[in-house]
């Protein structure tokens, strides 16, 4: 595999894989079995850099590290939130630097069953010391979309996408080799996708390859054993057979970074009845070139692309910023209304439940020795918890959400004025 990867003295192929492993404790199916097969596949030597998402259990990560120690010896887990981000990177080459950026909005604490707040949704960044040129490698897993028709987390995801795009812009230079992977929980028609492509100037590897007859869908496809739906024969392998939400983006000067191929991979486990995950993997192959060496006696001239965007890209850049600004403006106008409505409900609820907190003599003589007394005691506890949660939402969570929207709104408008 090393011989195949090494092309010549000044260029070398790089294979990058991204996969959402679906390792949610107590919810995901056949986790141990699937992770064993994932580790087995990754240890074949086919891959140079691997970005995984939803590796929630640290013991699963430890097993991966052990099994990949010979082929992908360098690893990094991005710790964030209460239970960890679930994101990790395995690399054939040494990792020399890293950083975890936790997004300012990560869903709601009181919706524990969604889990995004507990995970502390983040962007992970590391520098990979490739022998040709350092690689600025990013991975993220944006907030899940639980209901596309009524997406209460859309503004959270847009905020995350904008902060992720800003992070990429601020850390890297136009001449750097930049690779961005992950489950973005956004389709190519969504605003989050446009933010990631248009603001930091990233290229979607799948679209770049433009394979006719293939659609690149990575979630909910009919041949996946965990799709959980009955698909009509008419849509199988068609554009409506699943959705495309897992991506590998890149940015680099053509003189030192070229995309060779991109395809969907790691679907069904060979000789097994199950898939590796409920997502498909995405594999991209790049050719990295050293622009500082001599080729056939002549100096290879580096042709750095202009830092100034073309007129078309400038228009896309401006329109994307306007879309973000418009959404943030709407959220800034509606969030205070929700806060005031919740505060009113809290006050009314306090008046309604106040009688159960009066001394027992003012009510019936309920003692802890009776069923009614125990019920009253439990009711007091539950009502106290409810009022505390509502107060937390009104005075802490809601203000935090408002300020996150305000921060993005101000940042976007500063950029719009400067264009």
Beta-carbon contacts of 324 under 8 Å, excluding residues fewer than 6 positions away, are: 158, 162, 191, 195, 408, 412
The yes-or-no answer on residue 279 being catalytic is: yes
8 Å CB contact between 181 and 139: yes
**What is the C-alpha to C-alpha distance for residues 397 and 334, in angstroms, rounded to an integer?**
15
The catalytic position among 114, 141, 279, 338 is 279
- CA–CA separation, 297 and 3 (whole Å): 24
Tokens 């490739």 locate to 130
- 365, 366, 368, 372: CA torsion to nearest 10: 160
Residue that has been written with the tokens 């053509």 in this structure: 254
Residues forming the active site: 279
């Amino acid at each position: 595999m090393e011989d195949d990867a090494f092309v010549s003295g000044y260029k070398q192929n790089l294979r990058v894989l991204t996969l959402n492993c679906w390792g949610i404790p107590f919810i995901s199916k056949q986790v141990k079995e699937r992770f064993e097969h994932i580790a087995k596949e990754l240890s074949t030597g086919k891959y140079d850099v691997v970005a995984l998402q939803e590796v929630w259990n640290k013991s699963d990560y430890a097993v991966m590290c052990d099994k990949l120690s010979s082929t992908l010896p360098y690893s990094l887990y991005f710790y964030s939130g209460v239970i960890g981000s679930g994101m990790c990177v395995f690399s054939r080459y040494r990792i020399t630097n890293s950083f975890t950026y936790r997004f300012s909005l990560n869903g709601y604490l009181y919706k524990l069953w969604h889990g995004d707040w507990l995970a502390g949704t983040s962007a992970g960044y590391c520098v990979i010391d490739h022998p040709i040129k350092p690689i600025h490698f990013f991975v993220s897993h944006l907030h899940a979309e639980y209901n596309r028709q009524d997406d209460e987390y859309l503004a959270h995801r847009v905020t995350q996408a904008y902060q992720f795009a800003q992070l990429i812009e601020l850390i890297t230079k136009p001449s750097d080799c930049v690779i961005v992977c992950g489950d973005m929980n956004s389709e190519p028609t969504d605003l989050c996708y446009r933010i990631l492509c248009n603001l930091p100037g990233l290229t979607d590897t799948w679209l770049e390859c433009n394979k006719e007859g293939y659609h690149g869908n990575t979630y909910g496809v009919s041949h996946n054993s965990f799709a959980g739906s009955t698909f009509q024969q008419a849509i199988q392998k068609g554009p409506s057979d699943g959705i495309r939400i897992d991506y590998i983006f890149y940015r680099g000067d053509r003189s030192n970074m070229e995309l060779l191929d991109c395809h969907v991979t790691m679907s069904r486990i060979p000789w097994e009845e199950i898939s590796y995950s409920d997502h498909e993997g995405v594999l991209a192959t790049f050719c990295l070139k050293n622009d500082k060496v001599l080729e056939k006696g002549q100096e290879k001239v580096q042709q750095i692309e202009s830092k100034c965007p073309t007129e078309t890209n400038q228009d896309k850049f401006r329109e994307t910023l306007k879309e973000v600004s418009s959404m943030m403006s709407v959220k800034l106008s509606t969030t205070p209304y929700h806060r005031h409505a919740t505060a009113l409900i809290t006050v009314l609820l306090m008046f309604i439940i106040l009688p159960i907190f009066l001394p027992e003599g003012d009510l019936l003589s309920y003692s802890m020795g009776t069923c009614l007394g125990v019920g009253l005691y439990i009711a007091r506890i539950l009502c106290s918890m409810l009022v505390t949660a509502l107060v937390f939402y009104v005075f802490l969570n809601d203000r935090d959400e408002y300020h996150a929207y305000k921060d993005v709104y101000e940042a976007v408008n500063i950029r719009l004025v400067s264009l």
